[in-house]
Structure 1
């Protein structure tokens, strides 16, 4: 890079930096004009230059993201492991040089070859990586825009969420009573069905979280506590089960394995990856079908975004009932 005076008393600029398109421009009347052009040119290509000079690997950026942001997420450690595995699969490239084409080839391999993952699972992984680049750019840790953030996600056909009928719930509870020797399994299943709790939230309950006929869930996915009332008879039985435990004592043993083994003794076909989460869907679905309010359901489930809760709206008894009265053939019926 240089600003030089030519023999005809005009000034010439030459920019030759790594990561910036080379240019040579002459004919400037004064040195100040040449220097102004140089500054403007460098500013115009500053991001490209900084991107080229950022030689941190993808794993290094992931670790930075975890320290600066991921550690604050309820599932931050799980995301970190998934992201590091992606970096390994991609052969840990220099993050600033990772191209859309590289990532798309990796996506094809992960979803169409060998032990392929489903589109929804890969969309989640892609979303984690996009979030890393976006968050680090917002924090000014990186200055460039990654092309990964411009890649469209797989379009997935929306399906209704699965839930258990009352007869299936009875079948499941009976199987737990017969086939599970872990007493915690029955109680945790009941709590999930009665409150819409996630399995981990119910399984890790402590004595102090039971009070005045209600359960207060802590360490939730949203990191906000929420309180849900229980049927008085069930709460009394649960309170008796807890007995004289200390406030911080866990009520239940780990029992997800026992639940899955008991579930295998039923005729219920559980959706892939939803052996326990279907209990939460079942609570929400029956809540709405029985006339429950969507806004109340949002608070009970702890959804930060109402759009998550609206997935159950179609189950409401009066959902879009005007379609019957206001369709073009209604008058002729």
Structure 2
């Protein structure tokens, strides 16, 4: 990389640095003009140059992401395992050299064949990997944009969330009452249906989280506590069940297996992956169908983004009712 005078009194620039486009240009009137061109060229290609110098593997970047950010997420360890598996599938390349084409080819392999995962599941993995690069760039651990972040997510056909009718809820509760030896199963199911809580939030409740007719959920997905009132009769039954327990004692035994067996004893055909989450969807759906407020529902469910709660808006009695009176045939 040099700035040299030419025989005619003008100046010439030659830039020959590994990782940058090779450039030779002459005819600059002054040395200052030649040096200015040199600086501008280096600045323009600096990021690409430094990216080529970054030889850290994909697994190294994933571990850096986990140390700086992932460890603070409620599901950080689960994401870390999924990301490391992706890196293994990619044969752990140099992270800065991972291309969009490689990523799209990987997506094809993962979503085809007998062991294929759904596009929705892959979109989750895509989001995790893109977040690694975006977060590390924000923290200035890297200074480049990965092509992975530029790949479009697969568009998924939006579907209405499934929920249980009152008759199906009664059938499920009857199965639990009749056959489940683990008494915790009935109470945890009731709490999920009455508060819209996630199964893990209800199953891991401690005695101290019951107070004044309410349940306060801790260690939630959003890492924020939320408090939901309960029907007085059910709350008294809960207090009787928990009467002998100390504040830090868990209310219930692990009972997810008992719940699954109870479902299998019914005629319910639940969507894939919604064995317990159907209870949360059922609470939210019935809440809206009975005229509940979307903002209140957001607070009850603990959604950070109102768009998550709006998935239930179409169930409201007055949702877009103007379509009936304002259509051209009305």
**Residues 1:158 and 2:166 are matched in the alignment:** no
* Cα separation, 2, equivalents of 1:99 and 1:105: 10
Quote the Cα distance in structure 1 between the aligned partners of 2:176 and 2:49. Answer: 62
SS at match of 1:112: coil
Please give the secondary structure, in 2, of the residue aligned with 1:318: coil
Report the equivalent of 2:22: 22
Kindly provide the CA deviation profile for residues 285-324 of structure 1, in whole angstroms up to 9, marking residues without a partner as x: 0011111111110110001111111111111111111111
Aligned length: 330
Is 2:126 the counterpart of 1:122?
A: no
Distance 2:15 2:102 in 1: 30
Aligned twin of 1:194: 194
Q: In structure 2, what is the equivalent of residue 168 of structure 1?
A: 168
Deviation at 1:239, TM superposition (A): 0.6
How many Å apart are 1:22 and its aligned residue?
A: 0.7
Match of 2:184 in 1: 184
The CA distance in 1 between the partners of 2:327 and 2:278, in whole Å, is 35
TM-score, structure 1 length as denominator?
0.97
Distance 1:2 1:79 in 2: 48
CA distance in 1, matches of 2:267, 2:114: 30
Between the aligned partners of 1:229 and 1:6, the Cα distance in structure 2 is 84
Distance 1:62 1:113 in 2: 28
1:103 aligned residue: 103
Per the TM alignment, residue 270 of structure 1 is displaced from its structure 2 partner at its CA by 0.7
State the shift of 1:135 in Å.
1.1
Give the whole-Å Cα distance in 2 for the aligned partners of 1:239 and 1:319.
39
* Offset, 1:10: 3.1
> Helix, strand or coil for the counterpart of 1:142?
coil
Deviation at 1:6, TM superposition (A): 3.4
The match for 2:216 is 216
Structure 1 unpaired stretches of 5+:
none
Comparing 64-73 with 95-104, which one deviates more in the overlay?
64-73
Q: Cα offset for 1:67?
A: 1.1
SS in 1 for 2:111: helix
Deviations 1:134-171 (A, max 9, x none): 11111111111111111111111111000001111111
Secondary structure in structure 2 of the residue aligned to 1:45: helix
C-alpha separation between the residues in 2 aligned to 1:252 and 1:321? 44
Q: Deviations over 1:100-132 (max 9, x none)?
A: 000000000000123000111111110111111
- In structure 1, the residue matched to 2:62 is 62
Deviates more, 1:195-204 or 1:3-12: 3-12
SS in structure 1 of the partner of residue 140 of structure 2: coil
Provide the residue aligned with 2:285 in structure 1: 285
* Alignment pair present for 1:92 and 2:92: yes
Deviations 1:200-232 (A, max 9, x none): 100110010000000000111111110000000
2:228 aligned partner: 228
1: CA distance, partners of 2:12 / 2:55: 32
1:172: Cα distance to partner? 0.7
